[in-house]
Structure 1
Amino acid sequence: MKGMGGIRFFALLDVLITAPLAVPGLTHAWALLLLSAAGLLPVPERWSQFTPATLLFAQLLGVLGACWNGARLFRPDDRRLLGIDAVARLAVAVLLVIQLVVGAPPALGFFVVTELVGATLAFLYLRRRRAAGW
């Protein structure tokens, strides 16, 4: 379990970011807080209007994110979870970059960075463990 600090940190960070999305009544305000970097950056008007379907999908994302990252938090050394998470983080980073190019709130750039750092840590840990015969 040596070297799991970074893996656990990103799992905990992801739980803290995604879990509030799952709470009805909190979803919209939390999403706007994330999209605005805690109110520091502007959010385009079209990104601040949430339909009931948008809220539903945000809440589903919150549930899935909390469950997935909870599993990663309690099983940080599971190679399968790490591998899936690393690939998923790269896919999320690509999707966020695409949205940034077409006018998404600039705060999403922060999430691109965290996804890439999280993926890099996971890949490095997997590579180190493979070299050690894991």
Structure 2
Amino acid sequence: MKKMEAIVLVLISTLLGVLGQLSLKQGMKNIGNFEIKDFLSNKVFKLITEKFVVIGIASYAIATLLWLVVLSKAELSFAYPMLAIGYILIAIFSKIFFGENVTFVRFLGILLISLGVFLLLKSA
């Protein structure tokens, strides 16, 4: 697999994973508090019919299929660390969409992750 093709597939898979995570979060905000015991109650029906939960699961499914293509063609030690881009995007979008508090320490951690991804891409 060409380096650029691998990068593009990993990025698409990562973006779909981020979309999935954001959708699941919104779905759970819509549902409210959910406990493990709720899987055995009728509250689980609310979970599986929540549109954002369905979108999140579908996004993860597509991301997984793309990831399987990546795994069949690229070195795992190259591809897997690039998924860290998802951490960066989740922090940014969590702040934007959910008003979550991204502290200086979290921001510094995101910068370190970004540096690591940059070094990884330079090494290939």
Q: TM-score range by the shorter chain?
A: 0.3 to 0.5
- TM-score relative to the length of structure 2: 0.36
Higher fraction of helix: 2
Normalising by structure 1, report the TM-score. 0.34
Larger Rg: 2
